[in-house]
Structures are given as structure tokens and as C-alpha cells.
Amino acid sequence: MSGANDMPRGAEPATCGASIPVQREQGQRQVFCGLAGIVWLHRKIQDAFFLVVGSRTCAHLLQSAAGVMIFAEPRFGTAILGDRDLAGLADCNEELDRVVTELLARRPDIGTLFLVASCPSEVIKLDLDNAAARLAREQQGRVRVLAYSGSGLDTTFTQGEDTCLSALVPELPEAAAGSDALLVLGTLPDVVEDQFRRLFEALGIASLHFLPPRRGSELPPVGPGTRLLAAQPFVGGTAAALVDRGATLIEAPYPFGIEGTRAWLGAAAAAFGICAARVEEVTAPAAARAARGLERYRTQLAGKRISFLPDSQLEIPLARFLQRECGMELIEVGVPYLDRRMMSAELDWLPADVRLTEGQDLERQLDRLRADRPDLTVCGLGLANPLEAEGLTTKWSIELVFSPVHGFDQAADLAELFVRPLNRRSRLAF
């Protein structure tokens, strides 16, 4: 297991990672669009409602991606465009106003309403930013109305969280001058958020905020004193918008595994002038516990070959964790898109000869996969069972987005998610 000296240093990131050749693919994709982010965002921000302005396809996607109707009373819905809405934009805006007014009357608990653009709403050039401003005026401050795009034309899967959080950035209050605070960016399960809060407090970073907040009414302040730490790799657009508002981005790998978590906390501590010895002191017990927990899974994963199909943007940090801390061999790591700025520290930690692909040409990628026959394939829900039927063992990637997998105390759980399909395969007689 590596020590603190393996920590990537913010000064020298771009060069090393940039040396890994990236294969760009174009063709059929098997990924969700950004609307899928609503599935966890609507649970995380408890007083928000997500209204997709789109087609029946969008509504169907949302309920299918949510595992078909798990939540009895969802805080999301779709305003389904009809033929008449397509005929004239003036009527379309009127209709949207009507639907929103009805919705807000029925659901007085809504504090923040997101109008979410879709492929069809973008193609017909329905201006939801304008609509949001108009509806917010009508609500006279009672409800905050914001717009963002979850359209498949410009977002894939987790990128929908990035566009959503970006829409929140202009709403954040201005931080008081001279106030230094840490802002952790990207949805984390509540339990993980609480663990990190305890660690940051122990490090002496008392002024700490999370975006998204648990309630839309509790938006964190931002300003020149804000140090920004991304907990998820898919929030690059939001990070850039926060930097525009004066925040400083802390370059760090992501808090997956012991190494990643330690480096992530360490980078934050360094930004606040907290010495490495203090970081070691605070993190040592949790890191030691995590190492004990991880050991049993490491023996089961070491030497096993793994491929990632592009899906959630977590592929690179997870591959790094599985290779460096669990001893797995990386065959192919596919990402929907490569955000070099957000990935620079992670790329430094990938082996230079890894087959890194960006984008997708599905059938050709599956040809490669069949030729590689890795021990484990990480892929989306549409592909998992057919690949299992071909004799490949799979891990569906959506679980990695929904489960608590960040931080020291989840490092073993994260490894276990990859062990389980292998374990299961070895148990079954047929």
C-alpha cells in the first residue's frame, strides 16, 4: 500500500497523464443521456422538483432508468410535448406556464423547480432559461425556477448532474470577503458526506459546504476565499463556473480507495496550509481500518483482468483504484468523454500502456471485448445480461453511481462490488 509520498502534486499534473494515448471512437452509443442524473438528484436535493420538458421517450427513459417505478411519490415529472406544442413556440410557452402553475399548486412543498431541457426541446429551440426567468417572476420569489439541459445531444449520463449544478452556481450567495471555506462538489450519499465532514473538521477545516446541498434552500456561499474540491469526476462545467465566481480549484485525484481518499483529503489540507503530518495523524486510523477491510478482497481481485465500457465517467478513478490497490490488470478503460482538467491527477496514476478509449462505437468495442475476454466487464444495464449470456462476467456500472463507495470506510465495500460477480460465478454450479 502506498504512502503519502505517492500523492500527486498539483504543480506537475498535465505532463505525465497526457502521455497516455487516447483512442477516439465515434458511432453507436450505449449510454444514458443526462436526464438519468435526475434519478439521484431528486433524492439528494429534498425540496427540488425536476420537470423535464420533452417527449414520451424522456418520461419512459426516466422511469426505466429508475429501475421502473421504485419511488411511489417521485419529485420528477415530464411535460410531454404534443403536436400542437411543436406547431408554435408561443403556444408552447403558454402551455409550459400552465403545466408549471398546475404543478406548483399541487405540490406546495417544492422550493426549487428545475426545468430540464431534452433533445426535442433543444431541437425546437424552446428557450427554457427564458421560461425559468419568466416563471420565477410569476412566483414572486416563492419558488426558485432554474433551467438546465439533460439532453442526449450534449450530455451523457452523469454529465446531467454537472449541467444541473452549473445552473445553481449563479444562485449561490456571495461569500463574505476574507472568509476561507472548503466547497465539496458532486453528489455524495449522506452517510459519506457525514464521514467526510468529521474528517475535515478533525483536520481543522471548519468552514465546509457541499454542493448540491440537501435542501435547495441551503445553498453554500462562494467567493475568492472558496477552495473547491471535486468529489466526483463529472462536475467539470460546474467547477469552471465556480472558478469564474472566484473559487480556486484544488487539483486532486478522487476519493476512491485508501490512496485516493488520502490524496484527496491531503490536497484539501494543503490548500488550507495544514501540514502533512497532521493529515497523516487524522487519517491514519481510518486508513489502517480500510486497509484491513480491503485485504480480503484484494486477494480475490489481484491478477484478474478488467475492462470498462464507457458509462458514468467514474471509469478512470475506479480503474486506478482497482489496478493500484487491488492488483487488477486493466485491459480497456472506456470513458464517454475525457475531461483532462478534471482527470489530470488520476491520469498520472494510470499505467502508461493502458488502452484508454473516449466515446463509443458499440459493436467494434464489443468485438474487442470478445477478443479480450476479461475476467470482469463493467458496463451499463442494457449490455450486462447479454454479455453474461456470452460467458463474460459483468458488473453493472449504475450501482457504482448509487452506492456509497467514496472514502476510507467504503473502500472495502467498493472492492466488494467487483468481487461479488466473480464470487457468484464461482458459486453457481450451472
Partner 1 sequence: MQLTVWTYEGPPHMGAIRIAASMQGVHCVLHAPQGDSYADLLFTMIARSAKRPPVTYTSFQARDMGADTAELVRKTLRETVERFQPRALLVGEACTGELLQDQPAALAQGMGFDCPVVPLELPAFTRKEQWGASETFHQLVRTLLRGQSPRERDPVPEGRRPRANLLGATALGFRCRDDIAEVTKLLDSAGVDVNLSAPAGASPEDLLRIPEADFNICLYPEIAQSTCAWLERMFKQPWVKTVPIGVGATRDFLLEVGEVAGIDTSAAIAAGRTRLPWFSRSVDSTYLTGKRVFIFGDASHVIAAARIATEELGFEVVGLGSYSREFARELRATAERYAVEALITDDYLEVESAVLELAPELVLGTQMERHIAKRAGIPCAVISSPVHVQDFPARYAPQMGFEGANVIFDTWVHPLMMGLEEHLITMFREDEEFHDEAVASHLGSGKVSAASAETAARPAATAEPATSADGMGTETALVWEPDAERELKKIPFFVRGKARRNTERFAAEHGVARITVETLYDAKAHFGR
Footprint on this chain of partner 1 (rule: CB under 8 A): 27-36, 51, 53, 55-57, 59-61, 63-65, 68-69, 72-74, 76-83, 85-86, 92, 95-96, 98-99, 102-103, 119-120, 122-124, 151-154, 156, 360, 363, 380-386, 388-389
In whole angstroms, what is the distance from residue 86 CA to residue 92 CA? 7
Q: 401, 336 in Cβ contact below 8 A? A: no
Of 306, 336, 238, the residue nearest 32 (C-alpha):
336
Q: Which is nearer to partner 1, 99 or 274 (CB)?
A: 99
> CB 343 → partner 1: shortest distance, Å?
20
Q: Which is nearer to partner 1, 122 or 413 (CB)?
A: 122
The angle formed by the CA atoms of residues 420, 423 and 429, to the nearest 5 degrees, is 135
Residue type, 325: E
Q: 314, 363 in Cβ contact below 8 A? A: no
Rg over alpha carbons for the chain, rounded to the nearest Å, is 22
Q: Which is nearer to partner 1, 81 or 182 (CB)?
A: 81
Q: Which is nearer to partner 1, 23 or 217 (CB)?
A: 23
Q: 333, 357 in Cβ contact below 8 A? A: yes
> CB 71 → partner 1: shortest distance, Å?
9
> CB 65 → partner 1: shortest distance, Å?
6
Q: Which is nearer to partner 1, 52 or 301 (CB)?
A: 52
> CB 72 → partner 1: shortest distance, Å?
5
Q: Which is nearer to partner 1, 226 or 360 (CB)?
A: 360
DSSP string, 189-256: -HHHHHHHHHHHHHHT---EEEES-SSTT-PPPBSTTEEEEESSTT-HHHHHHHHHTT-EEPP---S-
Placement of cell 425540496 in the chain:
47
> CB 120 → partner 1: shortest distance, Å?
5
> CB 204 → partner 1: shortest distance, Å?
44
In whole angstroms, what is the distance from residue 50 CA to residue 30 CA? 24
